[in-house]
Each structure stands twice: as structure tokens, then as C-alpha cells.
Structure 1
Amino acid sequence: MEVWMSPEGWIPFEEAFLTEATEYKLRYEGAGIDLRIQGVPIPFHKEGNLFLTSLVTPFQSGLVQIFLNDKEYETFIYPDSRKLSEQQFDVMIEEILEESNSCFQLSGLEREVSVSGKSLGVSWTQWIYIERSMQKLRQIFARIEKQPFSRLVKLPIVQKRERVQQVEQPTLHWLDKRGYGEDIPLNVETTKTFETVDVYENQVLKKQLFDLRNLLKTYMTVERVDVSKKAARFHSLIRRWMNSLFLQEVSMHQGPYSITQKFRKHPIYRQWYKWFEQLYKHDMEGIGFDYPIAMKDTFELYEMWCFMRIVRVLREMNLVEDTRGLYKTTKSGIFIDLVQNKESRIRLRDGKSLYFQRKYQYDSKEFYTYTQRMIPDIVLECEKEIFVFDPKYRVPGNLGTSLGEMHKYRDGIVHRGTGERAVREVYILTPTSDDSVETMRYFQEGYHDSYKMGAIQMVPGVESEHSEKKLLAKLMGESEFV
């Protein structure tokens, strides 16, 4: 079996250095072929004496098992050089959070509330968590209320002697102490077995609801009307739960919690404990997110990171006026909203704006398109002009093709008032290696000045703020930073 490698041509498969997320042509000469990679059969088609196929390696690197006509081999798929490392992935998340704490403070959401003797802050992501998971908490509580933990207890009571159904040892001890002998009184002390729900797990549950009710009181005082109204509804719901017959019988736990075997193993109580454990895991100092972003979605994270990087440069240039337009109260969470948002906006000085996922179509007010709807990733609007930044995570080898696609923005977005093309300059943002930046003309300042388009290197973990500030200052007309 052979594989086509450029520029070597056809070489034996076992000698090839395979790269992830790459298409290869394979050929085999023989009576028949059974090829399986990691147990998955690869189909071939026959042309003459050859069996041919195309193989696309997965977007993962590492050792793979090859089965060829019942013989087993091993080969290695190497990482794509364009792929960001796991360390850079973590850097992007860290820098997004750092900038969000500088810019995305929601007015009124940084007050403090006393919970169990501790001073716990509240944050936007904590509110997002409460909002999107309250329905789940309702379902959990309904199931617990229907069948709560309980235990049997024996309590002493005084009964008429004819109502005593079973004489137990405590009753005999009571009679012996009083020396009644044969003269048994009409009323005797005995024990009766009761079922109670006042157990440790339910006591913790009641205390957690009490803390959540106090936390919701804080969210009811924020300046965002939609947040305060929804917090009030949640507060009323928690209050009804605490007044239910089930919890009326339960005393409130005091002191620190401990996770018991019932919390660990019971399917419903475990979900309840984990819900409240997650509630206080959010960043209490500002805005953060505690929701997983898969490594396969690195391109989305890179788009967000590029946007926040531009925001940081503009903020440090003292050009940012208002960031409230970024806040969207949805069930997805603030940063996922940033990816899926339509027209998340930061207001800049002199009436300018920076947008993420700005939408342009035929009926848009100031700028419109006369063909299809267009949604550039990052847009800087300056009066009658537009500057487009398009993050491209994995195209260093195809920058020319990607820049060619940018002509749709330059030609297709028009200013409604003047009828002229609105997009003045377009730039691709890419984590291209330094070697490519030094040799490719798309990154050179002269190319940018001549053609009003090009590429900008933006690599997580690598400081390039000077060049970014210089370009943005030029676009914004801020001569003091050029």
C-alpha cells in the first residue's frame, strides 16, 4: 500500500509522516484489500489492477492501529502545525476572563450578601447558572418532595392501658420504677414508633434553600429590570417550597455541610447537592464562565479571544465608553452568547462602535447588502466607514484564498445614505507562525497601506499589542498612538 505525499510522490504507507486533519490518496496493488484504521474499515474502488481511495485523518494526533489484510501495524499521526497548543487554549480562556473582569461589570451585580456567616459576592455567570438551571432544580425538588428521606423514631407517650397494643421493655421499666405491682394505673407510659422526615439530608436541603432565597433577594435589587423581575419570581418559588408541608416538619441545619453517603449515592439527592455545589463555584470577583468549551471548538474560542484582544487595546487607548450592549440574558451563558449573538456592541468615543457578529442584510438601516445577508465576526464602524476583522484559526497556508473571500464584504456592504461601498479595509486575524509572517507579503505594513487589506498575526500567549495598537489607532484616527 502506498500514499501520495507532495513533493515525494507515491511512497510506502509505513514511511509516510501523516498529519491530522489532512486528506491523503492511497493505492494498493493486489488481489483484494481489507484496510481498517482503529477498527474502522476504509472502502476502496478498483481501477484496473489498483485499488484506490482517499483518507482524511482525524483532527487528533497520536498512535493509530492499522489492520491490512489481517496483518497489524502501527503508525503515528502528527499534530497540525497550525493547531494551537493546549497551553494556548488555556491562555485564551484566561485572557478572555481577565478582560471581561475589566470591561463587563454589570452595574448592581457586585453587591454582597451574607450566607452562612460568609461574605459571598454575586456575579453575572452565577445569575446565568441560576436562570438556566432553575427548571432542573424544580424537577429535583418535586421528586424529593414526593419521596423524601425519612426514618423511624420511637418516642415515649402516655396512653390508656387498653390502647397499648404491644408491651415493650420501656413500658415494663416504667411500671417497675413506680412499684405498681398488680395495681396497674389507667394511663401508662409506653413508646410509639413514628416516621419523620427531619433527617440530616433534609435539614441541609432546607438550609440551602434558605441561602438561595437570600441570594435571590440581592439579584432582586440590581438595576437590570429583566434580572430583578425574574429573581423575584424565583424568590417566590423558593418561599413556597420552604412553606410546603414536607419542609414544615424539617428543622434547619446549622454549621458547615458534609456530604454523606446518601448525598453521594442517592440519584436524586446527589443531583440536589451538586446543583448547590456548582452554584458557588463561579468567579465571585467579576465575570467568568465555568462552562466547558471543547477543544474541537477552538476556532470559536479564538474568535472570542481576538474580539476581547481588540477590546483591550481600545480600552487601554481610552477609547471605550460603554460595554452594556454586550449583556444578553439568555439561557446559554454570556460567552456562548458572545459567539451566537447578533450585534453584540461596544460603544466607542466619537459615536464609533465595535461589534461582534454584526448582521448586515437588505433592510438594515445604516449599512445594508444588496445580495445575501453577511455577518462579519468583528466590525469597527466609524461614521460612514466600516473596518472588518475576520479571525481565521487554521488558514495560514491559504491566506490568499481567505483574503479573496473578503471582497464580498468590501463590495457587498453599502452605506444607505451615500450609496457608496462602506467597507474601507479588511484584515484577517491568524495565529500564523513568525516564519510565515516574515516571508508573506500579506503581513507587511506596505501591503496594508497599498491595498487596504491584509493579515495580522495574533497568537495566544505572544504579545503583539504594539502593532495592533498602531493599526487600530490609524483606523480610529488617533494620531497620538500611531
Structure 2
Amino acid sequence: MLRVRTTSGNPEGAPERVVPAPEVTGGFREIGRYELVDPTGTVDAVVVDDEPLEPAPNARLGERAWRWLPGFYAGEVAAEARIGDRAVARFRLDVSPDPRKAGREVFDAMVDELWAEDPALVLGVEPATTRVGRLDAAQNPWIEFERLRRNAPAFLRALDEVVRRPRARLVAEREDRPAHRVRRVDRGTARTALRNPATLALLRPGLEAPTGAEPRFDVPRVTESLDSAANRALAALAAAALARTRSLLRVLERLALADDEESATRSALAKRWPERRRVLVGVERELTRRLRRQPFPSVRRHEVTSAGLVAVDADPAYARAWSCGWRALRRGIGGERNAERHWLSPTWEVYERWCFVRMARELRDEHAELAWTRSVPRDLHVNADAAWSGEANGRRLTILLQPRFPSLPSGCEAGPWSISKSRIPDIVVVDEADGRDLRFGVYDAKYRTARASLMDAMASAHIYRDSLRWAGQRVDGSVLLTPDVALAPELATTEYLDRHGCGGRPMLPDVATG
């Protein structure tokens, strides 16, 4: 349906048209410039990862076109062509890394290595997606949103089937009735009748009934009730889905509005939030409507019991509703990856985190005599996104991912600080001996492979070398990590690092050299 038009400066190899899902259209590249064209002029809008694209200013007569500028991300992107509010076609677009970087094979190898270490380091909020698992307890609100959006329609349809044919249970009760309304009696009825003078007089002619007393009988009655274990369990699941939806509306709106500033290296969440808010509001409305219909109003309490799960499993409609609801609410991203997909971090951030994982592994292998833990030592007085720390015989090595160096000591000169503004280097390695002698090195990861870009990136190495302090100590060395330092070989020499206090080091997955 849609054709692809490349604009000036775009790399070659772009596809001529996009094909409908489930087929994947490849050939797109990050930081590329494309126009998605509808030659028929019937499509009203094109949405990529919930963000409506801007119309292209140079659309030809009789057609409509939209500009798409992929940011710093690589992976699979979801897109839709819409007429009004209705999606008339869905697409899966594959975006490759910038060819000036290390290439798609290398990027995929970094993602796989990160996944094996810690899946949370892979995921982000960029439009590109990757396959995720469903084990462990890790979670974040965007994963919760995507799982809810993906599974809520099937859950709502399954609830409709339950509403049409709800499970009921038989409830045995007793009721006091006059004689002319008695249809069935049991031993209990006989026992109470013999203790009631008015009833006894009715049964035995000749006995005089008390004045004003009416003969009544305590009879059994069997009724149907929708307050069953299965309905209680399903009501608890639907209520949990509704609570999750309302929580996501609050949390994600706060995150999206806090990320409304334009950034050259990240995609703005604020532009995608209106569509995602519309989805959540619709799910909230539909769940509320179904919880107001029988059997759920008849349920006295929401609870999940073993009896309820057995009853749910015995009924295909209930089992289907439970399965869909569980998939919408389940936790976990680890384990073997499956068909479920989630958003990635930008390519440069994937490289930064991969460098941390690879360096941490090298340190652990090189210093196997240390007892390693995945934590930040409290006495370092530092906040970081991730860390590994090894200690033995009075020596401690710590590697930190994006530690914070606040501006000036802030009352704690024993920790990290900056003599200028606050800094957040990518990786810092701290070497301590006997708790007194402390040395630290800084590593800045730059996902670039052009000489001009490398030399420009050295500015950050200079800044970190001159501005960062830890317990009063200056940086021992500031190193630039890059996929191809061979374009500036002088940076990678020991002499250069010793002389200038900064330098470069190549960092690339093994697949690039194998």
C-alpha cells in the first residue's frame, strides 16, 4: 500500500515499498530520511510506534506522503496506516544501525550478550523492538503497558463469553412458609413442625391451635447463586487488570510529560503518549463496563483460591479468560526469548551498556581471586545504574555503570564529585587498597567509527580527566571506548595514555573479529 521515497543524504538500499504484516520490510537505517507515500491519496495518517508522522511538504498531486526520520535505534518497528481512527494496514519495519557504526551483526551480538547478563540493560523506550522472555520478577511500566495493550482485547472478548454464560452454584437454604405453599419437606421440616403447637394442631385433628397462631413450616429450598469460586477468581483477575490500567495511566503520563524535551539522541515519549493514553482509557472503560455485568456484581469478595482455579480450568470459557488476563498482567522479561516484543534502548546506549558488561566480565576473569558481588559498596558514597564489586585480602575493585559525580563535594568529600557541573561518565573502575589508597579510571563509550567523530568524542575524555574527583584524588586515566580505534591509532598507545592522561581502546563483540 505504501511506497518509500528516500530524500537527499539518505543511505542507499532503502526498499521501494512496505509490505503488510506479518512480513517484515527491511532496508531502513537509523538516522535515515524517508517519506512513506500513499499513491492513492486515501490514507489519512501513518503512525509509527504510536507517533503520528508529519505530512511531507513536497507530496505530489493525487498522493499523500509522510516524513519518517528514524532516530538512534535499530530493530523492528510497528507502523499503521489509518483512515480516520481505523487501522487499514499494519507494517513491521526493520531498522539497521548506521553503517558508519559497527553494523547489524555486531549490534545483534551486543544485544544477545547483554540479554545473557541482564535483560533490563537491553530494554528502553525507543520505537525499535526485540524479543523478550517471561521469567523472573523484573518489570517496568512500559512492559506492563505493552502486555496490557497486546492482550486486553482478547481478555475483554473472553469476559463477554463468561457474561453470556456465567457459572452458577446450587445453594441449599431453609425458608419459613405457610401450609398452602409447602411443596417439599424433609426431616428438618418434621422436627420443627412437632415443636410448633399451631403446626401440630394442623397435622393432628382434635388438637386446639393457640389463638392467633398460624401454622408454618420450615422447608428446604435450593437456589442458584453466581457467587461461586470461579466467578470470585475471575472477578479478582479483572479487578487487578483494571487497577493496573489506572496505575499505568498515572505513572506513564508522569513519565511522558517529564520527557517532553526535544533530544538529538532519544525519541520523545510525549509525542507517543496521546495514542497510548487513548488505549489505556479505552481498556479502563471496557473493563469497568464488564465488571458491572453479571456475574461480577453478585460476587461478595474477590479472591483466588485453589477451588476457584480448579473450577476455572474445568470451563473452557473461564479458562480462556483466565489465560488472556494472566498474559496481560504477568511479570518478567528474562529467560528464553519468545514471540513477545518490547522496546529497545537507543543504539549508543546499548553500546555503552555492552561495554560495561564486557569490562566487568574481563575484570572478574582477570581477578578471579576476588569475591565478586553485583552491588555498590556503601562506603563508596555513589549512585550508579549497575555495578560489580570484588574484594579479598584488603583489595577491592569496583566497576560502575553511569555513576553520578555531583557538582562540588556536597558535604561528602569521601565520594565522587566534579569541580564543575554534575557529570555522569559511562563507566568508572575504582581500585582500593586497605581502604586508604584509592585510584579510579574513567571510560567513555562512543558508538562511532569515523576518525573525525572519534577525535571530536575525545573532548569528553578531556573533560572527565580534568573535572572529576574521588576522595580528593584526580582521575588516573580517561579512556575512550570505540568500535574501531584503528582510525586514530595514536590514541590506543600506552605512551599516549601515560603522557596525556587520556586515550582510546577498541571495544567490539568477538563476532566482528572472528
TM-score (norm 1): 0.48
Higher relative CO (Cα under 8 Å, sequence separation at least 6) belongs to: 2
TM-score by length of 2: 0.45
